[in-house]
Amino acid sequence: MRLLLDTNILIRWVQGHASVSQTMRGIVQDPQTTVYVSSVSAAEIAIKTSIGKLPPFPRPVASILGELGFTEMPFTVSHGDLLATLPWHHRDPFDRMLIAQALSEGLPIATVDRAFASYGIQVVV
């Protein structure tokens, strides 16, 4: 399986939150799963940390990805082109970018935000 993590799931995973479901834990920890983390998530964490909306992250996101064996997914121009066509079911710009990536790459997305499903992508909770 291939899976894109929403930023909120990445943060919860790194912080060891019990709120990550057993189903999601099983999928992420399965050696057959390729877990993707978007460059958008790194930008969201950096911005929200710098303005005080998030506490400091323990280490740079790039080093955390290496430690966890997750794969970086860059946000591309084609993702941006698709973003321009999305309906406005969701207003958060970071989430909209992740939705565009999931749609473009044909990936399910791990999130607790049910609004993602309104875009026709598979949501893993």
Give the predicted TM-score (pTM) of the model. 0.95
Other C-beta atoms closer than 10 Å to the C-beta of 118 total: 12
DSSP string, 65-109: HHHHT-EEE---HHHHHHHTT--SS---HHHHHHHHHHHHHT--E
* CATH number of the domain that residue 77 is part of: 3.40.50.1010
Give the pLDDT of the chain (125 residues) as one tens digit per residue.
999 999 999 999 999 888 899 999 999 999 999 999 999 999 999 999 999 999 998 899 999 999 999 999 999 999 999 999 999 999 999 999 999 999 999 999 999 998 999 999 999 98
Up-side HSE of residue 15: CA atoms within 13 Å toward CB? 14
Q: Order across the sheet with 71-73: list the strands.
A: 71-73, 34-38, 2-5, 109-110, 123-124
> Which domain range does residue 29 map to?
2-124
Q: Give the number of domains in the chain.
A: 1
